[in-house]
A = this chain, B = another copy of it.
């Protein structure tokens, strides 16, 4: 009879992975992460979230204090970043190799990110020539979970005459991305703020020699560098 209990750390399920990823993303906004925030983002009910938090806590993937919220443990954070890595690499694949548009990739990547094979993901990384960012400008972590924290500023924070390059978006919905596409606001484009309208906060900017006006709401989700 063994003196020690062998704890077989089972692999995470599809569902657990989605929870970990959600908690990871919400951690940026608030830490610890609250039950309702997770429920809303995952389109599920608070009661279901509570159940899962207990389970993740049991597996030592999160630190969970009743009524207070959750934080990822080191182990949980690494697991989460790994899913994010896979998600973003698949998005690059879809856009670069299969001609998907940047608003078409999200749902498929949401499924592909759960495929379990390190060989697959390392080979994919190599095949894509080790991309540093995904089609939405988000950084792609390396095998060890490290990635450069790109210095972004929201377009809505710029002042009149400020210049910069579009390097990311903080909203990934298809309607939003299609809207940007139509306006010519795609990654890499240089812009200059020509005016900020007083009455609605909307932003007028020069792009490719044209002047266009975008709502404050849209400006908030466009990330500018330099």
The residues of A with any CB-CB pair to B shorter than 8 Å are: 94, 97-100, 104, 107-108, 111-112, 115-117, 119-120, 123-124, 127
Which chain B residues border A104 with CB–CB below 8 Å? 119
In the bound complex, CA of A116 to CA of B112 (Å): 10
B115 touches A111 (CB 8 A): yes
By DSSP majority rule, is chain A's interface helix, strand, loop, or mixed?
helix
In the bound complex, CA of A127 to CA of B115 (Å): 21
Q: What would be 17 A-B contacts, judged by CB atoms less than 8 Å apart?
A: A94-B120, A97-B127, A98-B120, A98-B123, A98-B124, A98-B127, A99-B123, A100-B119, A100-B123, A104-B119, A108-B115, A108-B117, A108-B119, A108-B120, A111-B116, A111-B117, A112-B115
Which chain B residues border A119 with CB–CB below 8 Å? 100, 104, 108
The distance from the CB of A32 to the nearest CB of chain B, in whole angstroms, is 33
- Report how many copies the assembly holds: 2
* Chain B residue nearest to A120 in the complex (CB): B108
* Chain B residue nearest to A115 in the complex (CB): B111
In the bound complex, CA of A119 to CA of B109 (Å): 13
* Chain B residue nearest to A124 in the complex (CB): B98
Which chain B residues border A100 with CB–CB below 8 Å? 119, 123
Which chain B residues border A115 with CB–CB below 8 Å? 108, 111-112
Interchain residue pairs A-B with the least CB separation, the first 10: A98-B123, A108-B117, A111-B115, A108-B120, A98-B127, A97-B127, A112-B115, A98-B124, A99-B123, A111-B116
In the bound complex, CA of A152 to CA of B70 (Å): 59
